[in-house]
Every structure is written in C-alpha cells, then in structure tokens.
Amino acid sequence: GDVAYSGGRRGFISLLVDSGGQQGGEMKPGTIDPALAEIGKKNGLLVWRINKFELEPVPEREHGIFFIGDAYIALNQKYEGCWDVHFWLGKNASTDEIGVAAIKTVEIDDSLGGIPTQHREVQNYESPLFLSYFTDGIRYVAGGYESGYNHVEDQFKNWKPHLFHCKGKRNVRCTEVECEVASLNLGDVFILDLGKDIYIWMPPESGRLERIKGMARAKNIADVERMGASKVHILDDVEWDNDPTFWSYFGGVNAVKKVSKGADDDDNYWKRLTEQITLWK
C-alpha cells in the first residue's frame, strides 16, 4: 500500500532489499543515472521501467501499463520541492530488478536533496495516491523484458490475443487473464485486444464504473498507446452475447452459455487477491 518511508537512504535500501531484492556488485548508489536528467525540471509524472541494470523512461502514452514481470519507479512532482517517488513491484519481478530499483530510488532521492517521500507499491495493492496518477486506470500485462514482449513498432506482427479483466468499485484495475471462456463472467467488464481491433465486452450485470473505466482504457490503448492504429468495438447490452468475431475466440456464440455469473463482490475479490499474493513486508 502507501508505505511512506523516512528512515534514511541506507535504511530504505535495506528495507527494499530485505523485502525480496538483493544488491548486486554493480548496483551502487553514487553517480546519477543519465536517465534521471529530467527530474525536478517540471511538474507532472515521470515513470521508468527497470531493464536489466538500467532505467528505461516510459513514454507518457504508456503510463498506466505495468508488466508483472518487471519493476518500475514513478516520480510525481506536484510543484518544485514537493515530490513523491514510488517503487512498484510486479508479482513476478526478479530480485535483481528489485535491487536495481531500490538503488535508483535512492539516486532520485539524492539528486533532489533528500526531500521526496518514498513509497513502496505492490501489484494489486497500490496506494490511492499512486492510482490517482493514472486517470484511465492501470493495466497489468503478463510477461516482462525477459519474455521478449513485442513493442509498438512490431506489435501487429504475429499478434496473439490478450484478454483483460476490468474490476473494482473505486479503483478499476484491468488485469491480463487467460484468453478462454472460463475467464469470463457476467458481472464484470473484459477487454479483448486483437491488435488492430479491440473489443470491450460489457455484459448486463457489469457495473457502471467498470464500464466507464473499461471504455476509457480501451480508447486509451487505441488512440494513445497505438496512436490511432486500433479500432474499438463496444459490445454492450445489445451485442454482448452475439458478436461473432468476439465469440470466435471463445468457442463460438454458443459459448455464452458457459459463462459463469459474477457472484463475487468487488471488495471481497480484491481482499482475497491481495491475501493470495506475496506482500513485500
């Protein structure tokens, strides 16, 4: 959750490393990373993704996308002198990535005079402050750098369908799930990403906020991340159970009969989910 920490720079490294990371021989604080050259210059959000032992800036159009096999750092400048730096862990992030992110977080703190408030964020258990930076919600994507996930330039080549489950009453998260009929339920919103076509599936029992956030997320993927290269198809109360293209990925239109009801309420769903994951205590 929102774990603000003020126990000193070395103490923060120890906290993060003891939480699952480790310090490698090359991960030493001191020299400021060139990737951090822009920090403190203007208000707003900066995000970096850990790539091996380096920081890779995340383009603004990709803010809110998190690969669960990676670690990230986010720095928000409300105004000069008011900074929050967040260390985000995907549930499958490696110990090396965690250790690198810990060191880089301290570099940011050093370069801003030790003023920033530091927060540790865990997938599915993010603080309200962290979530507030991403107005269209956040999206968890399977894999990471080690998986060789395709980037924007070649994303439509050999494209594999991705299915995202959008759920939550206050903070809607879109999490990648297996692309199969067993993943669907009648109470939630799902996004089927086919690359050039994106289907937003909204069964009658799905919640209003989930629909709004799901549509916003699908539109963001198409218009911002892919710069208009994808088209969004909305399957609402009329088309949710009969669109042939959508259902072709789940065994045909008759597969709708196999879809389970959305019996789980959102609060209990996230409570159980956060209990299941390993928290970095």
Q: Quick one: 177 and 242 in the same domain?
A: yes
Render the burial of 88-114: b for 16+ CB within 10 Å, e for the rest: bbbebbbebbbbbbbbbbbbbbeebee
Q: What is the pLDDT of residues 168-188, one digit of tens each?
A: 877 788 999 999 999 999 999
Give residue 154's pLDDT.
58
In terms of residue numbers, what domain contains 88?
3-147
Q: Quick one: 10 and 128 in the same domain?
A: yes
Q: What is the pLDDT of residues 199-230, one digit of tens each?
A: 999 999 998 889 988 898 898 888 877 877 88
Give residue 19's pLDDT.
45
Cα gap 109→65, rounded to integer Å: 24
Burial of 214 (0-12, 13-18, 19+ CB in 10 A): buried
Cα gap 102→97, rounded to integer Å: 9
SS3 call for 8:
coil
Among the candidates 147, 181, 208, a domain finishes at 147
pLDDT beneath 70, residues of the chain: 1-32, 146-155, 263-281
Quick count: other Cβ atoms within 10 Å of Cβ 162? 18
The total of structural domains in the chain comes to 2
